[in-house]
Amino acid sequence: MTATSPDRPFTVVSLLPRLLNTNGDAGNARVLAQRIRWSGHDALVVEVHSRADLPEHVDAVTIGSGTDADLLPARDALRTLVEELRVWSNSGVPILAVGTGWELLSWGIELADGSVLEGLGLVAGHAVPRAARATDDIIVASKYGRLIGFENHARDYVGADASPLGRVIYGIGNSDTRASGPQIEGLTMGEVFCTHLHGPVLARNPALADHLLQATFTRSGLDYVRGARSVSVDETARAARNQVAVRLGQAAE
């Protein structure tokens, strides 16, 4: 996979959107593509359900969340793409994985019946069952600003303490049973970003989207400049985040 040149569209890959779109997270690919267009460049979203769908060039990748009933078929489909995923992550292609899509990239998933579904082993850590499902708004302090979304997960994530996406201000995140230190959310590894935040997360938190896009453009030898339409849309997203934050007792931005 080569970096983008200005004479072709940026290509954003949405992996397994039929299986991994329970919370609308496949929309993250459309967010990236639209912000690229608003910056004055062509972009397209390619849905990849199997190796046969892989485009020649890949500039960014998104993976959504699915139901536990779809874990095995989704894992098996991702296994056929593991070498591509490894190449993309090692070469700086931005990858965003949400919910079970993240869990499938990990060492594995411990299920409620005691069995373990082996993951792809591309990111550190693994998922373990929670006593009670986490379903609520979540606020996270990160280097990309305050992130707000909705978490909906039946498993904690352990083993990502060294490289979290951020610190939980409100909500659960990776776990609410840490023996010491702050609660954390998500995982980062180079330009691989994993999170429990739904929304979709990039629509509600455009600063994170723009970080991924800056990495995408840098690989192409280009500078990413947020378009005028993005500025307007981002004000709407900021107002929506503030509405949630204030309701949860936090200050507006």
Domains of the chain: 10-247 (3.40.50.880)
Q: What is the pLDDT of residues 89-128, one digit of tens each?
A: 999 999 999 999 999 999 999 999 999 999 999 999 999 9
Is 196 catalytic? The answer is no
Q: Could you tell me the pTM of the whole model?
A: 0.95
Tally the residues of the chain: 253
Q: What is the pLDDT of residues 224-249, one digit of tens each?
A: 999 999 999 999 999 999 999 999 99
Question: Residue 133, annotated ligand binder?
Answer: yes
Q: Within the chain, how many helices (H) and strands (E) appear?
A: 7, 12
The phi and psi torsions of 153 (rounded to 5 degrees) equal -140, 145
Name the strand (E) or helix (H) holding 132: strand 126-142
Which pair of structure tokens corresponds to residue 32?
């990236």
- pLDDT greater than 50 at residue 72: yes
Q: Which residue of the set 153, 196, 198, 211 is catalytic?
A: 198
